[in-house]
Structure formats: structure tokens, C-alpha cells
Amino acid sequence: MIDLPALAEIVRDSPAKILFLVIDGLGGLPHPETGRSELETAHLPHLHALAGKSACGLTTPVLPGITPGSGPGHLALFGYDPLKYTVGRGVLEALGIGLPLGPGDVVARGNLCTVDAQGVIVDRRAGRVSGQEAAALVQRLARIRLPGVHLEVHPVREHRFVLLLRGDGLSEAVSETDPGRTGVPPRDPVPLAPEGEYTARLVAAFVAEARRALHGEARANMVLLRGWSRLPSLPNFCHAYRLRAAAVAAYPMYRGIAHILGMAVIPTGSTFAEQVATVQAHWQQYDFFFLHYKPADAAGEDGDFTAKVRALEAVDPHIPALLALNPEVLVVTGDHATPAVVGGHSWHPVPLLIHSRYTLGEGVEAFTERACARGSLGRVPATAVMLLALAHAGRLDKYGA
Amino acid sequence: MIDLPALAEIVRDSPAKILFLVIDGLGGLPHPETGRSELETAHLPHLHALAGKSACGLTTPVLPGITPGSGPGHLALFGYDPLKYTVGRGVLEALGIGLPLGPGDVVARGNLCTVDAQGVIVDRRAGRVSGQEAAALVQRLARIRLPGVHLEVHPVREHRFVLLLRGDGLSEAVSETDPGRTGVPPRDPVPLAPEGEYTARLVAAFVAEARRALHGEARANMVLLRGWSRLPSLPNFCHAYRLRAAAVAAYPMYRGIAHILGMAVIPTGSTFAEQVATVQAHWQQYDFFFLHYKPADAAGEDGDFTAKVRALEAVDPHIPALLALNPEVLVVTGDHATPAVVGGHSWHPVPLLIHSRYTLGEGVEAFTERACARGSLGRVPATAVMLLALAHAGRLDKYGA
């Protein structure tokens, strides 16, 4: 793959607009009883008709067999090699709750957990303590103060929280205290490099304070910390592709990813109809829109085949409004598959369609996993989708004479 | 992709002959009125029948979305990674007019351009000055002499020319004087590395002389220079693949590319019938023939759908003669797509057929973009075509025990 900085030679300006509709968790697998996938089951007249007039294919998000998280899934779609460019887990968790991060901040994902009298972990998730109970306990952690550093603790949901450290001289080069299994005590935080020594001492002090703050609790009486990370330094999407790019997403994590890539993040509502209206209202201001639709993934994560079918059916009626904007290029794809029968993200290839005046229009009969496998785009790495979109928009010069 | 030098371990000698028919700009897109591409419109009984008996697929010339120039397009087909091996623009322009280049020569592409009284560029192409007028002006440039260096200026067509410098101590590490836009003056040539200092001074002297030589012209009163380059050092095609390889091409640029790869370049006529006769006459002397057919690309570049259809139809009747030579492997493909609706090279995948006794013969019904998308070869990088050709010719040993 051409690395982003190398693109500068061939990317050119153009008024052509590109609209990326990312249906999170788009791909699926057949229901065991019907033999039909979610896309094959859903009533999707507009998407199926569009596929027939588009170039279709399947994307490989990272590598065959590799299941991407939301970070790598989206980075790849935006043309960032997800094996080279990474966003730390702590940062993603913070982005997921809409926490604004500064360049020096260090964040970790935290779990409330249960330890026995000997300090040995007996439940890494504190019995999946309820949201209300957890929020009260996280409040206690948030009152912890350490000298010389600004410290924040924010609840995520159930047993999960985010720990943020802000101050001079912080580093993410600290080991995780979560051993990833029960039957052993939490690990002491140790520096992974000389520059991590100060932070490791701070983390050890925080853990000691947290133990005291949670003392006496039956379930959530200790914390586990992992995924130490800082805001990554990634090539700017708008500069690399010479695009005025905007994100329209209802969920904080996707707004956060767009933000760290340098896209404008347009405030929008929580429904897809509101998101579409946001795109319409700002259509003239940007060249590239990242429009993110979450419910398909959420239903797949829940293992709810019917809900995923309904989530797909809920996006279909909006396709005409998107086409009516007359984008030079409309891309519809997902960041990864979330088959309901898997009940989580999966490694399966993801349907892709590219609609533009410069596509073959190979006449596949539906926007499904099986039909897209017969499309002219074939199997492409997800990192190629941006190149294809730019090419179809007339935004790439010839490579070489 | 296996890099060429690493192939030595598995390439073996064989008497099997390989014939590569490269139909330049082969791939196309549907005509807006009929919905059928050039290949789908043309009457191609022999190619369609051949496709049904061959292994078919689509090549990706460089990367999805990347439109290759003729250089990268052909390098890829010959198995050279076009992102790793490059031929400079000046060299390609020189090859295009059949200019013999020595290893120390430095060449640039030149434009006649128009500057105003303040020296600001107002037309980068001098109003696309006619061939006759341009040739007379280039003659003036060709009379420029500089001490210590041999200098040649050759017309290409319209406003374009080639500047060649020959002598000791020359370097291509010189900046381009063409700013790539109007409204600014030409840039001064500056060295891009210490070894470019001498050449940059020579180029500045040439530009000053050229300004004087063109003084008073209304349109073509200045020159722009870009694409400084020298003959690249590329792995030798014949050695890497253990082939006695010959090129039969009517256009100088393709003969030039073949020459710098180390192929024999057989003199031939300007018609395809003459080229086929040349292959027939030399059939016993070589193991590999690169037979290049240009008119399909030229018609596509002109945006002339009907002319491209006719150009494809003109090659079809020669297929029986090529099959009658009984090559162990006949490959028919293109270096890139040149859809008439684009009016230039494009990034679209290119039909590929490989005919040999060791192909599946999957029975695709036609040699078209859509039919080849369903072929057993699938989508392959163009750099894999030589490996496939060698394999089908029995010229590759097993890899590993």
C-alpha cells in the first residue's frame, strides 16, 4: 500500500465530493435455520438496487483472519495501515466516553475487580457490578488526589472506567497491573522504559489509594489498569488527501477517531435521520463526509440476528436522500463484520460498494456478502478504499509517466 | 511479491515459449447510452472463444485506485514492482521519441511556454503551439552550445521537447523549473544534492540561452524543464527469468522500455500485421515475445469509444495466427485501462487471459471486464502475471521441499 505521506505526489484538488457511509459491523453470516445472512434477510431495496449500479467487492479490514477492533477497522478504511498506525486502548476508551484529551495526557482502561483476603484476584470484572453501584464507587476513585499531577477517573459502564493523568513528564511506558487472569494478585506497575519511572510511581500510589477507597466492598474492592496510552501522532487526513473532511457520527468513539485524524466533527443528533440532515445542512462546506451508522454493530454484538436485520433495514430508506446530494463518489461499507451468530466483531470480509460515474456497474443482484464476492472490485484491503474513492472522484493523478 | 533477484532459486530453463500480447489501454467502461464497455461492444469472436478456453482474471496494475503511466504499467506486467522500480519522466519522454540514451546522460522533459513582460508564466503549454512552429523553435534551442557538455534538444510534439545533457559529472539531482502552474515565474534550477551543483549551473545557463533564443516570440517565449532523470539500473529481464526475450512494438516508448530491461528489440513495421509477421519470422530465436498493440490506448485517450471498439476489432483477426505458432503460454492483457469515457489512463482492473495446456478453462463467455471478473484467476497484481506465465510454461520449480 502507498503510505499516506507518499500520496502527496499524486493527490490533486478537485471540487468532487466523496460520501463514506460506514455501517458499523456491516458483514454477517447465515442464520443457522434459514441459511441467509442478515444482509440477505433484510428488506433493502435501495441498497440492493444501488449495488447493481456500482462497483462491488469485499474488503479485508486488517488481514485475512484478523478481527479488528473499532480503531483498526476505521483507521484502515481511512487508508491508515492498521498494523503501522495504532490508537491505544486507553485512548479509545477515553474517546468512547467523549473525554477531551490533550497531547501530554496519559490514559488507561480500568476495571473494578474482586480480590480475596490474600489480595488474589477472584473476579476480574467484580461480578459485572451494576452501572449505578459502579458509578458510586468510581466517584470514590475520582476523589483520589496525588501531588504534582492532575488526575481524573470517569465511569464507562458496569465495571469499566477511564483513568486520566495530566501533568509534566508523564509517559505511557508503564506496565499493566491487570494480569489478564484470576488466581494471582494484580501486578505492580513498573516502568517499561526509563521515562516511565515517574509515571509508574504515580500509578502505584493511585492503586494504593484505590485499594483504600474500595476497602470493605464485597465485590468491587480493587482496580486493574491496562492499555496505557497517549494521543497518537497520525498523518492528518485532510492534508494527506487534500480534503475538507467532516465526520457525522452519533457515538463519541467515532467522533474521537475522526477528531484525532484531523477531520471536522459536526455536532449531530442521536438518530440516523438527524445525522443525514446534518450532512445535508453542511454539504457545501466539505469535500468528504464520514457518516457513521452504529446500530448494526450493536445488534450484532448482542447476538441478536433480528435486531441486526432491523438495524440494516432502518438505514436503507435514507439511501435516496444521500444519492440526492449527488456526491461524485458514494462508498457504502463497514469497518468490520459483526455477525449475530458470532456475537461480536469478526474477521470476515465486509461488503463494499463504490458508486460513481466511473464504475463498471457489474450488475450484482444485491448488496450482500455473497453477491459482493462476485463484484469487479474483488477482495481489496480496506486501506485501498480511500484510494479507490479518490480515484473515482478524479482526485488522483497518474502514477509515473 | 517475490522480488526478481529472489526468483533465481526457482526459475529453470525450458524450451517452452511464452507470448505476451499487451493490448495497451485494454480495459474500458460502459458507454453511457448502451451500458456496454468497449470490449462488450466490439465483435471479437477469436478473443471471446479464447477466453472460454483460458484462465481469466483481472489485474491490478499498481494498487487499487492508482492510475499507472505507461512506465509503471509495463514494468508491473514484466514483474517489476512499480513502486520500487521507476523510470524517470525525462527518460520515458526520450524513449518515446526513440532517442538512444547512454548511462551517464541526463534528460528532462521540456515545455515551450508563454511568459508575460514580468516573466510570469501565463500559459504552460504556449497555447499548444503547432508541430511545425514548435519544431522551428526547438531548432533554435538545439543550436544552443554550453562549454564542457554535449547538449541536444529534440522536438516531441506540440509544445513538448526533450533536453539531453551528455558529459562527465552530470547528475539528475536538479530541481524542476516548471512550477506546475501559471501566475508565477519559472523556478530557478537548484541542486537537490551536492552532486547536482554542476548540472544546476549548466541548466541555469541553458535556460538563460533559451530565453534569449525565444525572445520576441508571442507565445513560445520561454521553456519549462522537469522530470530530470537518467537511465535506471533495473534487474535484467532475460537473466532474472532465464529467457531469451524479444520485443515487437511499433512505438518507440515500448521498444525503449524493453531495451532498458535487456530484451532484444526486433525491428518491425508500423501495422499490427507487420508486427505479427515479425514474431513469426523470429519465432525460433526467442523464448519470450512482448508483442505490443497501441491503437486501443490511443483511441481511449482521445475519448473515442467507436475508435477504441474498432481498434480492438482490428487485433482480433490476428489471434489465430498467434495460436498457430503454438506457444506453450499465450497471455493477453493490457498495461492499464484507458476507458473512452475517461479519455485517459485509469485505475480500473484490466482483463487478463492465460492460455496454456495447464489452465482450467473455466468457460467465461467473453474476454470482457465483467466476464473476467468471474474467472478463476480472480484479481491479481499485475506483477504476478509473469510468475503465472512462467509457471504455466513449466519454467518454475517448486518453492521449498
Q: Do A360 and B370 lie within an 8 Å CB cutoff?
A: yes
CATH of domain B92-229: 3.30.70
Determine if residue A305 is left, alpha or beta; phi over 0 gives left, psi from -120 to 50 gives alpha, anything else beta: alpha
Distance from CA of B401 to the nearest CA of A (A): 26
What residues of A are in contact with residue B25 (Cβ under 8 Å)? none
Measured on CA atoms in the order A300, A32, A68, A184, is the torsion positive or negative? positive
Q: Give the model's pLDDT for residue A103.
A: 87
* Three-class SS state of B273: helix
Measured distance CA(B260)–CA(B240) in Å, rounded: 14
Measured distance CA(A143)–CA(A137) in Å, rounded: 10
With CA atoms as reference, the chain B residue closest to A1 would be B63
Strand partners, A346: A337
Within 10 Å of residue A237's Cβ, how many Cβ atoms? 22
Instruction: For A287-317, write each residue's pLDDT tens digit.
Output: 999 999 999 999 999 999 999 999 999 999 9
Please indicate if any CB of chain A lies within 8 Å of the CB of B15: no
With CA atoms as reference, the chain B residue closest to A7 would be B66
Q: Which of A381, A397, A401 sits opposite B89 (nearest CB)?
A: A401
With CA atoms as reference, the chain A residue closest to B70 would be A401
* Three-class SS state of B288: strand
Instruction: For A144-172, write each residue's pLDDT tens digit.
Output: 999 999 999 999 888 999 999 999 999 99
Please indicate if any CB of chain B lies within 8 Å of the CB of A273: no
Measured distance CA(A312)–CA(A332) in Å, rounded: 12
Alpha carbon A358 to its chain's center: 30
Distance from CA of B323 to the nearest CA of A (A): 29
Measured distance CA(B352)–CA(B330) in Å, rounded: 11
Name the band, by pLDDT with cuts 50, 70 and 90, for residue A46.
very high
Topology alike, domains B4-86+234-392 and B92-229: no
3-state SS, B3-68, equals: CHHHHHHCECCCCCCEEEEEECCEECCCCCCCCCCHHHHCCCHHHHHHHHCCEEEEEECCCCCCCE
Please indicate if any CB of chain B lies within 8 Å of the CB of A374: yes
Cell of residue B21, nine digits? 500480447
Q: Do B37 and A1 lie within an 8 Å CB cutoff?
A: no
Measured distance CA(A329)–CA(A346) in Å, rounded: 27
Please indicate if any CB of chain B lies within 8 Å of the CB of A398: yes
A115: burial class by Cβ within 10 Å (0-12, 13-18, 19+)? buried
A12: burial class by Cβ within 10 Å (0-12, 13-18, 19+)? exposed
Measured distance CA(B344)–CA(A138) in Å, rounded: 62
Measured distance CA(B323)–CA(B54) in Å, rounded: 12
Q: Where are the domains of chain A?
A: 4-87+234-392, 92-229
Location of C-alpha cell 461480578:
A127
From first to last of the 401 residues of chain B, give the pLDDT tens digit.
Answer: 567 777 888 999 999 999 999 999 999 999 999 999 999 999 999 999 999 999 999 999 999 999 999 999 999 999 999 999 989 889 998 988 989 899 889 999 999 999 999 999 999 999 878 888 899 999 999 999 999 999 999 999 889 999 999 999 999 999 999 998 899 999 999 999 999 999 999 999 999 999 999 999 989 999 999 999 999 989 999 999 999 999 999 998 999 999 999 999 999 999 999 999 999 999 999 999 999 999 999 999 999 999 999 999 999 999 999 999 999 999 999 999 999 999 999 999 999 999 999 988 777 899 999 999 889 998 999 999 999 999 999 999 988 87
**A to B CB pairs, distance under 8 Å:** 102
Please indicate if any CB of chain B lies within 8 Å of the CB of A3: no
B4-86+234-392 is classed CATH 3.40.720.10: yes
Q: Do A360 and B69 lie within an 8 Å CB cutoff?
A: no
Backbone φ, ψ for residue A242 (5° rounding): 50, 55
Cell of residue B345, nine digits? 489512463
Q: Do A396 and B58 lie within an 8 Å CB cutoff?
A: no
Q: Give the model's pLDDT for residue B2.
A: 64
Least confident interval from A94-98, A381-385, B326-330: A94-98
A4-87+234-392 is classed CATH 3.50.30.40: no
Mean pLDDT of the residues in chain A: 94
Location of C-alpha cell 514494468:
B75
**Of residues B294, B330, B292, the one with CA closest to residue B56:** B330
Strands (DSSP E) contained in A116-263 are 121-123, 150-155, 160-166, 222-229, 245-249
Listing DSSP states for A210-242 in one string gives: HHHHHTT-SS--EEEEEEEE-------HHHHHT
**Of residues B381, B285, B383, B360, the one with CA closest to residue B325:** B285
CA distances from B290 to A264, B332, B371 (A): 51, 10, 25
Measured distance CA(A390)–CA(B261) in Å, rounded: 32
Strand partners, B155: B161
- Residues of B (70-109) whose Cβ lies below 8 Å from A: 70-72, 82-83, 86-87, 89, 92-93
Q: Do B374 and A374 lie within an 8 Å CB cutoff?
A: yes
